[in-house]
Amino acid sequence: MKVIIVGGGFAGINLAKSLAHNKSINVVLVDKNNYHFFPPLLYQVATSFIEPSNISYPFRRMFQHKPNLRFHMGTLLKINRHENTVDTDTGTLSYDYLVLAMGTETNYFGMETLTRNAFPMKTIDDALLLRNRILLNAEKAVRSADPAERERLLTIVVAGGGATGVEVSGMIAEMSRNILKKDYPELGDGRGHIYLVTSGSELLGPMSTKSQQEAEKVLTRLGVKVKFNARVKDYTNEQKVIFADGSGIETPALIWATGVIARNAPGLDPDMINKHNRIKVNEFCQVLNTENIFAIGDQSVTTTDPAYPNGYPQLAQPAIQQGKFMAAHLARLAEGKKPQPFVFKDKGSMAIISKYKAVVDLPRNIFFKGYPAWVVWIFIHLIPIAGFRNKGKLALNWFWSFITNDPTLRLILRPKKEQ
pLDDT, residue 419, reads: 43
- Cβ-based neighbours of 125, under 8 Å, separated by 6 or more: none
Query: Residue 78: beta bridge partners?
Result: 87
- Cβ-based neighbours of 164, under 8 Å, separated by 6 or more: 43, 121, 257
Domain pair 2-106+260-334 / 112-258, same fold: yes
Q: Identify the segments of the chain with pLDDT beneath 50.
A: 418-419
CATH of domain 112-258: 3.50.50.100
Of 250, 232, 179, 201, whose CA–CA distance to 401 is shortest? 179
Answer whether 0.85 is exceeded by the pTM.
yes
Burial class (CB in 10 A: 0-12, 13-18, 19+), 193: middle
Of 47, 74, 367, 57, whose CA–CA distance to 204 is shortest? 367
> How does strand 156-159 pair with strand 194-197?
parallel
Query: Residue 104: beta bridge partners?
Result: 262
Write the pLDDT tens digit of every residue in 354-408.
Answer: 888 899 999 888 998 998 998 888 778 777 676 666 777 777 777 766 777 666 6
Write the pLDDT tens digit of every residue in 25-73.
Answer: 999 999 999 999 989 889 989 988 888 888 898 999 999 999 999 999 9
- Cβ-based neighbours of 244, under 8 Å, separated by 6 or more: 230, 231, 232, 233
Domain boundaries, the chain: 2-106+260-334, 112-258
Of 387, 235, 296, whose CA–CA distance to 3 is shortest? 296
Q: How far apart are CA 85 and CA 69, in angstroms?
A: 18
CATH of domain 2-106+260-334: 3.50.50.60
Q: How far apart are CA 45 and CA 29, in angstroms?
A: 26
